[in-house]
Structure 1
Amino acid sequence: MTSSTVTSPRPDRPPRPNLAFRRLRGKRSPAEFAAAVRRAAREIGERVSCDARYIGRVEAGEIRCPNYAYERVFLHMFPGRTLTDLGFAPRSSVRGRRARADEEATGAHADRAPGTASETRRAREPYDTPDTHHPHHPYDPHDDNEESDVLRRAFMMSGATVAAASLGPLALAHDAVAAGRPPRRAGAGHAGALEEAVRRIRLLDDRHGADGLYRRAAAPLRTAYALLDAGATRQATADRLYAGAGELAISVGWLAHDSGRFDDARSHYAEALATSRMTGDPALEAHAFCNMAFLARDAGRPREAVRAAQAAQRAARSLGSARLLSLLALREAGGWAGLADRVGCEQALTRAQALFGQGPSDADPEWMTFYGEAELEGLEAQCWSTLGDWPRAARHARRAAALQDPHFTRNLALYSAELADDLARGGRPDEAAGAGMRVLDLLGEVQSSRIHTMLAGTARVLLPHRRASGVSAFLDRHASLPRTA
């Protein structure tokens, strides 16, 4: 099998695509396949943070041999196959190459790399073995010495894992910024650390919501902009840093948005938009406008939501992602609903559904892993709720909750809260109380001011119906929740 052949350690040779792994993905999008990997991991008690970008790196040949956790998951998913059958290189050959690279880097930069090559190798072994052939630039032992898998140490807050601390280049840069020392010029390792920071913040938000994450996530963002100010060793690295900083600004903005800090969110989104305009990055521009439209809707500025969503669609037209255009049409629909324009809302919803029906593609942005049929139903439910069509809103919210991948715990709580509110306002208090109880069951794991606010509104609507079945129990349990700041 050609894809499992170990490549020669020539620095000018790009990674060989893993065609065997690509065939196993079949017609599923990278995001859908990543979700299947996470489900398989849960079946055998493993925890992997697999997303569309990881699948892309495997298929591109950047990950020549997975770490042990991923190995167990892949062999569980494809019983009877070996790693080489899946297109990976034998672990022994990759480790041998890694050892040689470490020894060379340690010999060339002994004053910069504390510890022996074997110690460096042992520290890296739990994670995917890095490949010295990076797709964005030629091999440089200086960059390779700095490259590492990052943000692996989780810290605890309010009884739940809510963020990850930096390990490697980003941590060193952050320490320098905190001490008032400007960082050195940024290399590919810093860009990779920044991209990993974005990925892990999103994964943690999927599970736990924003409230515990927001303030912790601001530190990596400050470090990202300090790295931009310091400059990069190569233009390709600078481009990755700008894109990563913009995406991180959007992620931090979303955390502010979801935790009710609308002014902070607006500022972060504006930073991302400015970065996209400065670098001519239409993908980042579309993402920034997408989130600005969502924020404007929630902040009671529906006309601004429509304009921002339309601007996002103009930026996204050249990107080739029907799923992205579908989401942006839903953002526009939310604005029209806020303007009480039912016709405009229905037209945008129809566009969103038609575009969604075109299916996923490799052009879909990495950050859109959350956008599947459940999110489509959930956002449509919000539109009908805003228009006051409670029965229709409840139907879509119920579908959203039923379709949601359990990995996205926060969204499962959100859809259930939407359902509870729609049922309560639609005159079905007993069903509303049942849905509200399911939300309360998830609040030990999810910290989101948005969900707390929705549930408080539902409780107020249900107060006159305390004698209905289950309502009293829901109201008492809701009243016992700790008050959020």
Structure 2
Amino acid sequence: MASSPMASSTPSPRPNLLFRHLRGQRSPSEFAAVIRRAAREIGERVSCDARYIGRVEAGEIRCPNYAYERVFLHMFPGRTLTDLGFAPRSAVRGRGARALSEAPAPHTTAPAPHTTIQLYESSPSGPTGPETHECDPYEIQSHEESDVRRRAFMSGTATVAAASLGPFGLASQNPAAATAQRGGRAGEAEVSAVEEAVRKIRLLDDRHGADGLYRRAGAPLRTAYALLDAGTTRQSTADRLHAGAGELAISVGWLAHDSGRFDDARSHYAEALATARMASDPALEAHAFCNTAFLARDSGRPREAVRASQAATRAARHLSSSRLLSLLALREAGGWAGLGDKAGCEQALTRAHALFDRGPSDADPEWMTFYGPAELEGLEAQCWSALGDWERAARHARRAAGVASAQTPQFTRNIALYTAELADDLARAGRPDEAATAGLRVLGLLDEVQSSRIQSMLATTARVLLPHRRASGVCGFLERHASLPRAV
């Protein structure tokens, strides 16, 4: 996504003195080698060097990506990211996120803290501003692959928070909305409001899922495109506004996609793609095509999934992100699998693994921070399932669940998803006893995880296992599954 340099009035990054203290007497190169060695101990690959250490200590990297996070928490057990001197992830989640007090506002007299596209009307029961709680390393996961990583409400406070959400609208005093309504030109404050809306929608989606959010997300998107129509005073501002509006269209499209509104999602993704083309923004174009490919696969249009993935790869070719290219190769593999083309699928999977093994980089887009070793295995499992190779699918699903359990043991929603995939693959592979054992593990997690996708997968597994009800453990699984409360 295109971006402009920060204004000269923006405060310089705050040095990370805590991280510098942890380095001790070692040189940046020596400390980088220690980090790479720690990464290998847990099966991660990070391209850490002295330059990365320097950027962290200078405060340029406010919060590390998930690969580095896992390594740092392994190196310093018992500490959180904030203990290591990083900012809470909620403060930097999403492209363009920044402290509202830092955003210059040369085109409006309203104070910067009010320069947000409101997701809620002000009320005692609803949020009224950016969240300020400390970063939980396992709390936030990016939104791309499945509803379980956003729709799984952890029991207790998350459920209460979801129940207390206010209406999704624009406050009348909001500068971005006011500017759009009066036809005035957009400046830094209005663009920052659009970027903040993208960040907040992603955070809400991460925690609460698409249900209930999609219908409320239209107002910020309409405001963003009204600002585009109004125009800007500088080209750099126009580039940021195009990028922000496009990312907002993708976010709203994902809410539609994730909640089963495939036609609406297709329209929003097309809108984002048109915005990317008009702004000559290859990063936004790659993101739009990536989501289009995912939607095409889910909609039963595998050939379109292949074409969209290939188009995304062409757009991303010069973005210097091997992880992005790896994800796009997996999108293509899913399309080939849907077409029953095993050779094409295997070629794309080989390319995905080779690109993934190059490791993360600073060029990786913020929106794909979910993409790690467990997700790689999980997506490959889906490919082999589509090809009917249940044994191979089960092998990769088992790896996905194992990696997720080892690297993010508190992230029960991912573990539940991959284990549910494993149970279904084992059932179809003719191993009912093992499938029942895996299914029971998932059922044991449902007190903490609520996901329509997991419920649907378990229901399918139960139907497959019905003829094997006399096999060891199967009857217990079927009885326990039958006792689950049905969704209203």
The question of whether the paired residues in 2 share the 8 Å contact of 1:257 and 1:295 is answered with yes
Moved more, 457-466 or 335-344: 457-466
The question of whether the paired residues in 1 share the 8 Å contact of 2:94 and 2:202 is answered with no
Q: Which of structures 1 and 2 has the larger relative contact order (alpha carbons within 8 angstroms, sep 6+)?
A: 2
**Sequence identity (%):** 65
Please show how residues 203-242 of structure 1 align to structure 2 within 5 Å: 203-242=203-242
Distance 1:219 1:289 in 2: 24
Sort the Cα spacing of 1:56 and 1:365 in 2 relative to 1 into closer, same or farther, 3 A: closer
Alignment partner, residue 299 of structure 2: 299
Distance 1:192 1:165 in 2: 22
- Alignment match of 2:12 (pick from 11, 16, 19): 16
Alignment partner, residue 414 of structure 1: 417
The question of whether the paired residues in 1 share the 8 Å contact of 2:249 and 2:272 is answered with yes
Amino acid at match of 1:466: R
The question of whether the paired residues in 2 share the 8 Å contact of 1:34 and 1:55 is answered with no
Distance 1:255 1:284 in 2: 17
Structure 1 residue 251: Cα displacement: 1.8
Distance 2:445 2:114 in 1: 35
- Alignment match of 1:32 (pick from 67, 77, 80): 67
Provide, for residues 193-246 of structure 1, a one-character-per-residue CA deviation record: whole Å limited to 9, x for no partner: 322332333334334433343333333323332333333354333322221221
Please show how residues 192-207 of structure 1 align to structure 2 within 5 Å: 192-207=192-207
Please show how residues 54-453 of structure 1 align to structure 2 within 5 Å: 130-131=101-102, 140=106, 142=108, 145-147=111-113, 153-154=126-127, 159=160, 161=162, 172=174, 181-182=181-182, 184-404=184-404, 405=408, 410-443=413-446, 448-453=451-456
Sort the Cα spacing of 1:307 and 1:334 in 2 relative to 1 into closer, same or farther, 3 A: same
Moved more, 412-421 or 467-476: 467-476
The question of whether the paired residues in 2 share the 8 Å contact of 1:169 and 1:193 is answered with no
Alignment partner, residue 468 of structure 1: 471
Amino acid at match of 2:12: R
The question of whether the paired residues in 1 share the 8 Å contact of 2:262 and 2:295 is answered with yes
The question of whether the paired residues in 2 share the 8 Å contact of 1:324 and 1:364 is answered with yes
Structure 1 residue 15: Cα displacement: 4.2
Structure 1 residue 356: Cα displacement: 0.5
Moved more, 342-351 or 436-445: 436-445
Structure 1 residue 264: Cα displacement: 1.7
Provide, for residues 430-470 of structure 1, a one-character-per-residue CA deviation record: whole Å limited to 9, x for no partner: 33233334444555665654434323222221222233344
The question of whether the paired residues in 2 share the 8 Å contact of 1:206 and 1:407 is answered with no
Structure 1 residue 483: Cα displacement: 4.7
Sort the Cα spacing of 1:230 and 1:480 in 2 relative to 1 into closer, same or farther, 3 A: farther
Structure 1 residue 175: Cα displacement: 7.0
Amino acid at match of 1:16: S
Structure 1 residue 250: Cα displacement: 1.4
Sort the Cα spacing of 1:147 and 1:483 in 2 relative to 1 into closer, same or farther, 3 A: same
Distance 2:222 2:159 in 1: 24
Give the number of equivalent residue pairs. 398
Sort the Cα spacing of 1:12 and 1:345 in 2 relative to 1 into closer, same or farther, 3 A: closer
CA RMSD, Structure 1 to Structure 2 (Å) = 4.0
Q: Is 2:53 the counterpart of 1:50?
A: no
Provide, for residues 259-311 of structure 1, a one-character-per-residue CA deviation record: whole Å limited to 9, x for no partner: 22221221111111111111111001101111111111111111111111000
The question of whether the paired residues in 2 share the 8 Å contact of 1:333 and 1:383 is answered with yes
The question of whether the paired residues in 2 share the 8 Å contact of 1:207 and 1:445 is answered with no
TM-score (norm 2): 0.69
Amino acid at match of 1:146: A
Amino acid at match of 2:102: D
Sort the Cα spacing of 1:55 and 1:299 in 2 relative to 1 into closer, same or farther, 3 A: closer
Distance 2:393 2:214 in 1: 30
Distance 1:170 1:301 in 2: 42
**Aligned partner of residue 16 in structure 1, secondary structure:** coil
Sort the Cα spacing of 1:335 and 1:161 in 2 relative to 1 into closer, same or farther, 3 A: same
Distance 2:384 2:437 in 1: 21
Sort the Cα spacing of 1:170 and 1:187 in 2 relative to 1 into closer, same or farther, 3 A: farther
**Aligned partner of residue 161 in structure 1, secondary structure:** helix
Sort the Cα spacing of 1:215 and 1:468 in 2 relative to 1 into closer, same or farther, 3 A: farther
Distance 1:140 1:448 in 2: 45
Stretches of structure 1 that go unaligned for 5 or more consecutive residues are 1-10, 64-127
Sort the Cα spacing of 1:244 and 1:455 in 2 relative to 1 into closer, same or farther, 3 A: farther
Moved more, 459-468 or 273-282: 459-468
Distance 1:292 1:361 in 2: 24
Sort the Cα spacing of 1:164 and 1:331 in 2 relative to 1 into closer, same or farther, 3 A: farther
Sort the Cα spacing of 1:299 and 1:359 in 2 relative to 1 into closer, same or farther, 3 A: same
Structure 1 residue 253: Cα displacement: 1.7
Amino acid at match of 2:211: D
Sort the Cα spacing of 1:175 and 1:148 in 2 relative to 1 into closer, same or farther, 3 A: closer
Amino acid at match of 1:190: E
**Aligned partner of residue 162 in structure 2, secondary structure:** strand
Sort the Cα spacing of 1:415 and 1:385 in 2 relative to 1 into closer, same or farther, 3 A: same
Sort the Cα spacing of 1:365 and 1:464 in 2 relative to 1 into closer, same or farther, 3 A: same
Amino acid at match of 1:145: P
Distance 2:228 2:409 in 1: 37
Q: Is 2:460 the counterpart of 1:457?
A: yes
**Aligned partner of residue 361 in structure 1, secondary structure:** coil
Amino acid at match of 1:427: G
Amino acid at match of 1:329: A
**Aligned partner of residue 359 in structure 1, secondary structure:** coil
Structure 1 residue 364: Cα displacement: 0.5
Stretches of structure 2 that go unaligned for 5 or more consecutive residues are 1-6, 24-30, 33-47, 53-63, 121-125, 129-156
Sort the Cα spacing of 1:289 and 1:441 in 2 relative to 1 into closer, same or farther, 3 A: farther
Sort the Cα spacing of 1:129 and 1:211 in 2 relative to 1 into closer, same or farther, 3 A: closer
Amino acid at match of 2:106: D
Amino acid at match of 2:426: L
Distance 2:209 2:339 in 1: 28
Distance 1:451 1:474 in 2: 15
Structure 1 residue 182: Cα displacement: 5.0
